[in-house]
Amino acid sequence: MTTLRIKTLVATSAATAGLLAAIGGAYAAGGSARSSGPDYAYGSANPFAAASAAVHVVKNGNGDTTVTLHVQGADAPAGQRFGAHVHQRPCGENGVDAGGHYQHAGATGSLEAIEVWLDFTINGGGNGHSSATRPWVLDETAPRSVIIHARPTAPATGLAGARLACIDLDGEH
Kindly state the helix (H) or strand (E) to which residue 112 belongs, with its residue range: helix 111-114
Q: Count how many domains the chain has.
A: 1
Positive or negative torsion for Cα 107, 160, 79, 128: positive
Q: Is residue 165 classed as helix, strand or coil in its secondary structure? A: strand
Q: Is residue 140 very low, low, confident or very high in pLDDT (cuts 50, 70, 90)?
A: confident
Q: What are the tens digits of pLDDT across the range 28-86?
A: 333 232 333 337 899 888 999 989 999 999 888 899 999 999 999 999 999 999 999 99
The three-class DSSP label of residue 106 is coil
Query: What number is the average pLDDT over the span 7-35?
Result: 33
CATH code at 25?
2.60.40.200
Q: Looking at residue 60, what is its pLDDT?
A: 87
- Structural domain span for residue 86: 2-169
